[in-house]
Every structure is written in structure tokens, then in C-alpha cells.
Structure 1
């Protein structure tokens, strides 16, 4: 009998140790992850007591997202005045499905929980002001974003405008898109219906084509090829053969220019600068395959950020370039 009691006691001690360790793990090591998890509904409901900060365009005037007071159990309703226009930038703020986009990336500031906001929070509490978050100003140009939406109307396409001097994103729009107001309403049944409808759509409107999808770079990759050529001895005025088409090794599929045209009116040779200016496919294919080769081209691509970690405020699919040895038996892939 005493042996059974002793074993039972040891079992209880072991269970207590496991429980103690788990509680300490949750409170010490996993606390930040749990607190910042966009699916943490308990925290999310607490956030609805706070007037969430605005998300603004670069002019600090155009409102992308804001909160207004309600008379319901949830004190504030998140609204998106422009509907679909900025959806893939702001993301959504939903009582059921949490946060995405900038709403998630800067949640600590928008909800007033960031350590940097502690002095302001103390002042607000002393003065009896309502709880409020901080607003954030984006780099998005409201005029350019409007033009992007208008130009892509009805097209399954994406557009990104960037300042090459700073890397600032001035416009980012993609179709199909969605209206985040449908996910921000406090009507949970309506939110669920909207969510189901968006996720059932084969076009995947919740996924941004401008940031989360990977596409062949097309002629934009000529920037990488041209840079590699200059790094490896070519000059802007270097002369390059200019045939009407080009068949790389190990294939019978010829590469031609856009529309089947012969670059530069059929000149036998053109300069690197000319080939770049008119985006000559044939010339750049010859440079990639015959002058550079896989190792130099891949090295230059990686210098441009391919295969690297790119910091982004919104969900972002990073560009990938296969390693050079992959091209050994597949040279035309250049």
C-alpha cells in the first residue's frame, strides 16, 4: 500500500513539475508570440476598447484605415474609406480572423501597446483621455495609387511603383482584390460569409499579386544581365552581334524579339546601351549565354537581392534564382 501511495505521490509531483514548466514557458518565453499572434481573439477583443490609430498615405491626409466609435459591445469599428484600393497594403482587422498586412505588422503601434508609446499612455491616463493608438504614415502616394487602380480595372494584373533612389513603394495595387470592410464589420455572420466567399474564389483575392506571388521577371531581368555585363568587362558602347533571332545551345527553340522584329532596323551590330534601350531579347540572350554564363549571371542576380532576405512591411514572396550548377544541363534557361 505504501508503495502505491509513494508512486502516486511521485506521479503528482511529476505532473506538477510539468505544469509549472509549461506555465513558466507560456509566461516567459512564449508571451510575446502569443500576445502578437493575430489569431489571439482574447487580446483582439481587448484591443476593441482602444481607438486604433489611422493608417495614412504619404501626404498624412489621405486615410487608408481609421476607427469610429460604436454603441455596441465592441467600442470601435475599423473602416477603410477607399474600400478595395488599399486592401493589399492595409490588410484587414477582423473580430473573427485577426489581422493582416500593415494592420498586423504595426499592430503594437496602432493598438497603443508599443513601448515607445508608454509616455503618451501615461499622460492620457492622468488626463482621463480615452485609450488610443498611434497613427502610421506610409510611403504610398494617393494619386499614383488611384491611377494604378484605374489603369488595372478589370485586369488580372499587378502594378508596383517604387522610388529607385530610396526603395520607397509609391503605389502597389493588384487585381483581383477585396474590400476589407466586409471583414471588419462586427456582424460575425456577415464576416464569416465574406471570408468563405473570398477563400472559395479560385482567383484568390486575399493574396496580393503585387507582393505575394512569384512571376517570371521578363524584360526587367535585363537590368541584371546588363549590370553583369558591365561588371565583367563590357562597356555601354561595346558592339554586340544583332541577328534577327537566336537559338541557344541544347535547344531548337529560337528566341526572337517582341513582335518578331529585328532590333535597330536590322543593323548587324548594336551597342550594349542600344540593346538595353530598346529591350532587345536576342542580344541579351546572347550576352547571358555566350558572354556571361551561369555563375556570373547568378552572382549578379544575388547582388540584386535574389535568394536573399528582403525586409518588407507586408507579406512578401522573395525572388529566387536557381544555383549556377542547375544550368549545367539546361543552358538555355539563362
Structure 2
């Protein structure tokens, strides 16, 4: 049986760091207020001349270095982003060009904060079907470009960044102790569109728009749906929650993470946390956290990892894999 096995991870964060205290100078908020409600202490903001593709290229290069590979070894790029460089072509093709790739294929996936889970599932299908042997799966965002900086309920939450994971086709036995992606669970419900959205678009306003969110409603849905999708993915893999070595959740809000982990009967000791340093980087948050965890030496070969995310749509999902 062919498995999609992680063989390298990398990330990139813009140099400009904006602390809570700095935000408090321009919006009615405080470090104490932000930390108490979100767990966020700072976030990285892209420079004016930095595009989403620039962040994605840097993360991809870091992942390639980590894996001991070059762009010539990659068959495809799947990019999760809600903040593309252009309406078209895909930002993934710009990353492909930036890496010097003139072969293979590249495309974007859009599921907002759940984007990386959707991208992982897509890449897994391409690998297990034999369409590609090695895929760069990237999450990259410049959410600072779509924030209303006068809205203290949203502007304090998000940051910019990119993370990348390289998946490689390897032969497994089909058992739950195989390395690689073991099971996935994806869901969406468009009736919740107004809970988290951007008030612009090509066919509606011909503008990029600004992010709008009903925070309490999103919180309510997030905990229940994340826990349910996590359990569903584990059930598909035939694995108990108690067997999970690490949880790498979407880094949206520390209270959401804690509540979801508790609902699943897991310990926070098993959670990779970066939200305090990066804020919510949307589709980039899971690969960023994976890369940080890997660089810190937390993952051992064979460790069982659960990732889960929810975003606008609402769209949500979970992926279970062995390192």
C-alpha cells in the first residue's frame, strides 16, 4: 500500500514583529485583554513589498533543505491560501517559478483556516493514486492585507507567515503503524457563511474586502466540530485518542485549543503551541507549527500526529499521520 509520508518541513515568518502593546497604540485594546481572550502575544506582519508567494517560496526552500532535496525532486505543489497574489493565475505557480521548477504541476486550494487540512487530503490522494511521488504542501498567508485595523475583535488575531511539508510516496503494509497519512476527515457547511467571511470579491464588489467575524459563534462551532472531526479521523485509522503522541491544531485561539483538547480527552502536554508567537496565520498555522515542533526535536519517527482546523465556510477537518 502506498502511503504519503512526511520527509521534510520548513517555515518562514516575516521579520516585522508587532506586539500587543504596539497594537494598543492604534486600537482600543491592551496586552492583557488580548492574552486573556486569545493567548496571543505577538504576530509577524509582511513587509509592503512581500507577497504571499514570497513567504511560500521561503518556507518551501526551508522544507527542501530540511529534507535534503531540491526542487528538481518535487513533482507537484499544492498551496493552501486565502490571500493569493492575484485573482489568477494560482499563487502556487508563482512559487513553482520562484523555486525554478519548470516541470510538474501546481495549484491552489482555498478553505480558509482549514486550507492546509484540505491540501493534505488532496496531496495524499494524488500520491496514493500514483499521480505524483513527492509533493510540496504549503500553507501561506498575508492576512494583514484583508484586516480592518480599526476592528479590535479581528485585527489582534491574525498574522502573516508560511509553512511547508513535503510528502513522499513510500510503501506501507496498510496497518495503522505505517508511517504517513493514515486517515482524513473533511466537512463543510455553507449555511454558516456569515460567521466568518470577507466582505469583498471579484464577482460581488470587485474589491478584496475586509475580514468580518462573529467570534463567539465561531468559538461555539469550533470546539464541537474540531473534536468531532478529530475523533472521526482517528476512528477511520482504527486508533484510540489515547494513542496520539502529538496534536498540532490550527493556531486560532488558545481557549479553542484547550477546550477542544479537553473535549477529546487529551492532555495539553501533547499539544504543539505557536499561537502565542504567531497569532492566527490561517492556512499557514498548522505547517508552521509542524515545522516549529520538528525543529525543536519534539517528533520522533513513528510518532502519531493529529492535525485539525476550522475556518470560514464553515469548513473543517482533521488528518492523522505518523511522522
After TM superposition, the score normalised by the length of structure 2 is: 0.28
After TM superposition, the score normalised by the length of structure 1 is: 0.27
More helix by share: 1
Task: Give 1 or 2 for the bigger CA radius of gyration.
Answer: 1
More strand by share: 2
